[in-house]
Amino acid sequence: AAPVQAQLIKLGVKGGMDFTELDTNVKAFNEVAESSTGFFIGPMAEVTLPIIGLGIDGALLCSQRGKDEAKQQGLEIPVNLKYTIGLGSTLGVYLAAGPDFYFNLKDIDWADVKTTQVGINLGAGVKLLRKLQVGITYQIPMGDTFEGMDLVSGVDKAFSAKTKTWQVSLAYIF
């Protein structure tokens, strides 16, 4: 039973780049809303049923999104249902989907930032040599990330924005 359990649960480290764009309802923030690059890194775990190829993938990531005045720094916990199709013993292709929980650790002066954000991940990738995983994920926000005063009209909470993020990741499984 011990060797079977060891094959089911795999630990590793995951890192990569965030490409984030703010989707805002105020045109005065177009410069802030432009695409920006950030990063993420942290430990991950993967549980896969051997013959079926179905499993769960989770991570605890230190993440930075956005830029300048809209930069967020926090902890991200993606939990994905992952389906892998093996193409031989050293290559596989996977599809993944699941919730993403983001806990913001940095305040922003000009807006109220939600401390907890929830989104949905949709992703795909390749598993190489049983140790490496290269993937791409799109995070769909389930609510606003920021709320604040519209500086043009002066109306409080008239400004809102969502962070829409593409992630490119590389994971190494021990």
Q: What is the pLDDT of residues 49-92, one digit of tens each?
A: 877 889 999 999 999 887 666 678 899 999 999 999 988 778 99
Q: Is the dihedral of CA 103, 118, 121, 21 positive or negative?
A: negative
Question: Considering the entire predicted model, what is its pTM?
Answer: 0.81
The rounded distance, in Å, linking the Cα atoms of 92 and 114 is 37
What pLDDT is stored for residue 90 in this prediction? 85
Instruction: Check residues 31 and 80 and name the one with the higher pLDDT.
Output: 80
Which amino acid is present at 39? F
CB 99 within 8 A of CB 77: no
Q: Is pLDDT above 80 for 47?
A: yes
Task: Encode pLDDT of 102-151 as tens digits.
Answer: 998 877 665 667 788 899 999 999 999 889 999 999 999 887 776 665 55
